Amino acid sequence: MIEVKNVTKEFISPKKYPGLKGAIKGLFSNEKEKKLAVDDISFSIKKGEIVGYIGSNGAGKSTTIKMMTGILTPTKGECLINGVNPSKERKKNAQNIGVVFGQRTQLWWDLPLSESFTILKEIYNVGDEEYKERMEFLNRVLELEEFWTRPVRNLSLGQRMRADLGAALIHNPKVLYLDEPTIGLDLVVKDNIRSAIREINEKYQTTVILTTHDIGDIEELCSRIIIIDDGRKIYDGSLSNLKEQYGTMRKVSMEVRNVEEVVSLDLAESLSVPKNTYRITADLEQSSVMVSFDKNELQVSDIIAQFMKKTDVRDIKIQETELSEIVKEIYNHGI
Ligand SMILES: Nc1ncnc2c1ncn2[C@@H]1O[C@H](COP(=O)(O)OP(=O)(O)OP(=O)(O)O)[C@@H](O)[C@H]1O
Ligand SMILES: [Mg+2]
């Protein structure tokens, strides 16, 4: 459904100089600054996939989405969306895609929501029967009726986002681009938006590309993620694989009778592993100790056994590394 082939986007902007003097100098200077926002990225996405497109601020996510939607033309390479080159055939492409930019609305600010939808129906040439059926579905999953006659400017952020998502889906697009669709939403609305996306994907086999800084979106919706860093693709694969590859740290916390007796336990010696493969921290108030360890080096059963030799262990909790920690690590240090 989506083919992105060696796509590069270079922005050229007038060079800026600091300060007021600089601003004046800038007016008369011809110097240009180049910024490689997207650097030779390729991937393909099959019909019906939900792919998370993630990366730190300024990594090039929105720029890629803009090239896939036809808003920007790649400097090099090409995108094919359902066989259409979006920057060459913008109109044809528009029929195939729906877009939600969480940061701003695509709806008419002063019109009642119902009017916006009527206009979109005409723009996309959606037949009456089809429109009726689609609206029934959208009303059920997004509950638009609640604010159907209100002007968009009077909607709350969560209502506006539901409206935007609905508007992007009126013509039943094959591909849905969501750029931070849950930004600023409370947990309940986030959850609603996520279930709506899931349901739309299941019912219509809509292909979804989602950029987000909310790891919850990724965990709940995406089986595959693409990570970009400084314009380059650094990971493309399943979420479970990423966790497997990078989430080798585990945590086990134990509630014990006597914390002091075990807090300085030397696991390195008793289990003959290097010292840097684990770390013990204690919480005296809670009478608990926590061991973070590398699961490739140490087994949780061995660790617990060592603790049990020294004191009574009342309760044990084993935690996996959170995906958010893995992602933070990758954003900070790369792969
Ligand atoms: N029109 C433009 N002119 C010049 N530089 C631009 C333009 N648009 C984006 N950039 C630059 O390209 C880089 C990538 O921007 P982009 O908006 O794609 O990042 P992003 O991954 O979406 O980040 P965020 O998570 O903050 O939304 C940034 O350094 C940005 O400043
Ligand atoms: Mg962005």
Spatial separation of the C-alpha atoms in residues 262 and 250, rounded to whole Å: 19
CATH architecture of 2-244: 3-Layer(aba) Sandwich (3.40)
CATH 3.30.70.100 in the chain is located at: 248-333
Measured from the CB, is residue 96 less than 6 Å from ligand 1? Answer: no
H-type alpha helices, the chain: 19-28, 61-69, 90-96, 113-123, 128-142, 157-169, 187-204, 215-221, 239-246, 259-262, 267-270, 300-310, 323-333
Per-residue model confidence as pLDDT tens digits over 158-212: 999 999 999 999 999 999 999 999 988 889 889 999 999 999 999 999 999 999 9
Q: Does residue 212 have its Cβ closer than 6 Å to ligand 1? A: no
- Rounded to the nearest angstrom, the distance between the alpha carbon of 75 and the centre of ligand 2 is 19
Predicted local confidence at residue 325, as pLDDT: 75
Instruction: Tell me, in angstroms, the distance from the centre of ligand 2 to residue 130's CA.
Output: 33
Ion ligand 2: protein residues whose beta carbon lies under 5 Å: 61-62
Please check the confidence at residue 7 and state whether its pLDDT lies above 90: yes
- Read off the pLDDT of each residue in 26-44 and give the average, rounded to a whole number: 88
Domain with CATH 3.40.50.300 in the chain: 2-244
The secondary element (H helix, E strand) that includes residue 286 is none
The preferred substitution site among 7, 8, 10, 11 for testing ligand 1, maximizing ligand atoms within 8 Å of CB, is 11
Residue nearest to atom 30 of ligand 1 (CA): 58
Tokens 């899931």 -> residue: 198
CA separation for the pair 44, 63 (Å, rounded)? 17
Q: How far is the CA of 137 from the centre of ligand 1 (A)?
A: 35
Does residue 55 have its Cβ closer than 6 Å to ligand 1?
A: yes
**Chain segment 208-260, per-residue pLDDT in tens:** 999 998 888 998 999 899 999 889 998 999 988 887 777 677 889 999 988 88
Nearest CA to ligand 1 atom 10: 37
Topology given in CATH for the domain delimited by 248-333: Alpha-Beta Plaits (3.30.70)
Sign of the torsion angle spanned by Cα atoms 299, 305, 311, 317: positive
